[in-house]
Amino acid sequence: MAQQEEVPGTAPIHADDPLALTRLRDRLRAFAAARDWEQFHAPKNLAIALSVEAAELLEHFQWVSEEGSRSMPADKRGEIADEIADVFLYLIRLADVLDVDLVHAAEKKIARNAQKYPVEKARGTARKYTEL
């Protein structure tokens, strides 16, 4: 099993750490800088890479029934977790390069969605807000 790469100034990241996202962002910055990859991390390139990884994630669900998608075997779940991680890491890197605070942007989006999809109109339906 590969060891986690040591990045100067970073401690292991734990999911219950309130600064986990910040620490991941900083680790990705250091990872890219150590390899001189910032030159390739234009927003366009990161958005394309994010889309490619999302497509690789989707590939695991292609031709699988809804029930099958909920009960993937353990080996497939590991592969899916890797693809989810790739999507997540590219998203963090893209947000960093564009100076977007992911948590703040997500909070704002949830608030906007709450306005567009009030519980009394949206509960139990998949209709778009314009059709409620």
Domain map of the chain by residue range? 20-100, 101-132
Output the pLDDT for position 117: 94
**What distance in Å separates the CA atoms of residue 106 and residue 124, rounded to the nearest whole number?**
23
- 54: Cβ contacts below 8 Å, ≥ 6 apart: 87
Question: How confident is the prediction along the chain (132 residues), in pLDDT tens digits per residue?
Answer: 344 455 544 566 776 777 889 999 999 999 999 999 999 999 999 999 999 999 999 999 999 999 999 999 999 999 999 999 999 999 999 999 999 999 999 999 999 999 999 999 999 999 999 899
CATH architecture of 20-100: Orthogonal Bundle (1.10)
DSSP 17: -
